[in-house]
A and B are shown apart, each in its own frame.
Chain A
Amino acid sequence: MEIADSQYGGDDWQLRRLTDRAGVLRHDDREKVQLAMGRFSRKFPQLFLAVYTGTPGQPEDLRPFSFWLLNRSAFDDVPVDMPNENGILLSIDPESRCACITHGYLLDEHLNEELTFNCLARAHGHWLEERFADGILRVIGRLEEVLVKASRRARRLQSRPGTHLQMAVADPVKPLRDGHIQAHQAKEDS
């Protein structure tokens, strides 16, 4: 993280869940993607999904950049009681033509590299033709499927005695960690 901080800066970034820095999404596309993100939030009330399009610098930098971004960003349109460890970040670099999914600690037990690649692979054809919005929608759809299965599996495991899993719904308000600060709060602090 220190290396990433030295490369991208140690300050938090103020972002919205859908940040199109690269400008690859049209107005209609943004609406479609936002609708899909809203549906995702309703389905998984503990989680949030963020989409970032932009160039981190070097082409091979997308993975560390995504890792850094999810740890350092403060999302204005995410409820205060939801820390970034409940987030999933889809970063797309249209210049180096790469995409990456990073997720918070909450999903550590449920997602892995292969599953996330599977989600990204659904969008490959669309992104090849530079239809970024369609690709993002496909990724979100596949991600929903994967997470529904994961949630069911977790519930089954939880019902077994001796499991280390504990349902978060019992204590929905979690203490905030550093890094997730609303924009107006950040201004007041400064």
Chain B
Amino acid sequence: MLWVALLPALGQMTDEARLVPLPEALQDSYAQASAKGYLIDPQGLIRGGEARERRKFLEYHAADSLIDLYVVLFKGEQMLLNSSELSGHLLNVRGDGKPTVVIHYYLGRPDRSEMFLSAGLMEVVPITEQGRALANAVQRARTGVSPLDELEKFMVQTSIRIYRMERMLSEGFVSPAPLTKQESKDVAREQALTPLMLFVEFLRAQKYKLIVGFLITVCGYFYLKRLRRRAVYLFPDCEVAERLGGAHAAGVGAVIEFGKNSKPPAAQLEKLKLH
């Protein structure tokens, strides 16, 4: 059992052992490259049409959003010794006080991605929301079939989450209490459910109450039915003068004919009313 518990930790250790620190020279090139464009890729990890697409997307995002998004690309196994230094430099050079998000993306390893926010944005967007945004983008990236596809999905999802941050920024968002693991699971599940599924879910959750409610209704129905069957109906005694010499009755009711040649009841009733 102990081995089973230690396995992920061992995996992480071996994973970290495989990482290669980014050479100093390359770090400088990153600092220089940060002066232009939203996609910073001095190593040329993506090229040609794919790079153009990603750049175009980031430019489009910058034009559309209040918050700029910068993506700094690294190889999957590369390790930045002081990642916050680079992002800080980027924010200083390009930020101009504008709300900015910087992503360090490790190609083929979206789970190693890091997110940095400018100071103004940090004040408004709670840490939990930042973590959620990154986790959400990583989860989305994992659905990609290739490292480039993963990057594309990651960027699209990050852009969506930035839109939410933008709303928080404009509304002066007050951060809610962080969700627990179970709560976040529930929220994710609720978002994925259709109204019909929600109803089924409600039935499933309330099944005992529903069964008890149903039994009470059925028992109540039969009890009322029994009461009604046993009910006794009375009539008030009122003084009536004798008529037609009848000691007990003069309430001569209707007569109906049911001979083969007789009129139907509706016609007989009409005749009765006329009479």
Residue pair A97, B259 in contact (C-beta under 8 Å): yes
Please name the residue on chain A nearest to B269 by beta carbon: A117
A47 to B, closest residue via Cβ = B235
A167 B237 Cβ-Cβ under 8 A: yes
A101–B248 CB distance below 8 A: no
Q: How far is the CB of B229 from chain A (nearest CB, A)?
A: 9
Contacts of A47 in B (CB 8 A): 235
Nearest A-chain residue to B230, judged by Cβ: A42
B242's nearest neighbour on chain A, judged by CB, is A105
List A contacts of B197 (CB < 8 A).
none
Complex CA distance for A147 and B151, rounded to whole angstroms:
82
Chain B 144-165, CB-CB to A under 8 Å as 1, else 0, gives 0000000000000000000000
Q: Is B8 an interface residue (CB 8 A)?
A: no
| Complex-state Cα separation, A178 to B245, whole angstroms | 13
Given contacts A97-B257, A100-B255, A120-B256, contact A151 B233 (CB under 8 A): yes
Which residues of A sit under 8 angstroms from B255, Cβ to Cβ?
62-63, 98-100, 120
**A67 to B249 alpha-carbon distance, docked (Å):** 7
The answer to whether B273 touches A114, judged by C-beta atoms less than 8 angstroms apart, is: yes
Contact for B245 among A1, A104, A107, CB less than 8 A: A1
Q: Are A71 and B248 in contact (CB under 8 A)?
A: yes
| Pair B248/A114 contact, Cβ less than 8 Å | no
Interface-lining segment among B121-129, B202-210, B211-219, B260-268: B260-268
Minimum distance in angstroms from A176 CB to a CB of chain B: 11
CB neighbours (8 Å) of B238 from chain A are 108-109, 164-166
State in angstroms the CA–CA spacing of A46 and B269 once bound together.
30
Task: State the majority secondary structure of interface residues on B.
Answer: loop
Asked if residues A102 and B247 are in contact (CB atoms below 8 Å), the reply is no
Q: Which of A13-21, A27-35, A82-90, A182-190 contacts B (4 or more CB under 8 A)?
A: A82-90
Query: Is B200 part of the contact surface with A, judged by Cβ < 8 Å?
Result: no
Name the one of B233, B234, B236, B258 contacting A98, with C-beta atoms under 8 angstroms: B258
Least CB separation from A42: chain B residue = B232
Asked if B272 is at the interface (CB within 8 A of a chain A CB), the reply is yes
Q: With A117-B268, A124-B258 given, is the CB distance from A111 to B251 under 8 Å?
A: yes
Q: Is the Cβ of B234 less than 8 Å from the Cβ of A151? A: yes
A107 adjacent to B256 (CB under 8 Å) = no
Chain B residues within 8 Å of A105, by CB: 240, 242, 248-251
Q: Is the CB of B249 within 8 A of A84?
A: yes
Closest residue on chain A to residue B236 by CB atoms: A165
The reply to whether B253 and A116 form a contact with Cβ atoms under 8 Å apart is yes
In the complex, the answer to whether B232 meets A104 with C-beta atoms within 8 Å is no
Min distance, Cβ B227 to any Cβ of chain A, angstroms: 13
Would A71 and B249 be within 8 Å (CB), given that A46-B234, A154-B235 are in contact? yes
- Is A22 part of the binding interface, using a Cβ–Cβ cutoff of 8 Å? no
Q: Which residues of B contact A63 (CB under 8 A)?
A: 252, 255
Do A114 and B272 touch (CB < 8 A)? yes
A113 touches B260 (CB 8 A): no
A158 on interface, CB distance cutoff 8 Å? yes
Q: Does B63 contact A (CB under 8 A)?
A: no
In the complex, are the beta carbons of A154 and B253 less than 8 A apart? no
B25 at the interface (CB under 8 A from A): no
Chain A residues, Cβ within 8 Å of B247: 1, 71, 84-85, 177-179
C-alpha gap A140/B2 in the complex (Å): 83
CA distance A169 to B269 in the complex (A): 35
CA distance A51 to B255 in the complex (A): 14
Is A138 among interface residues, defined by CB-CB distance under 8 A? no
A-B residue pairs, 3 tightest by C-beta: A1-B245, A116-B253, A117-B254
* 12 A–B pairs (Cβ distance < 8 Å), ordered by A: A43-B231, A44-B233, A83-B248, A101-B253, A117-B256, A117-B272, A124-B256, A155-B234, A158-B236, A166-B237, A168-B236, A180-B248
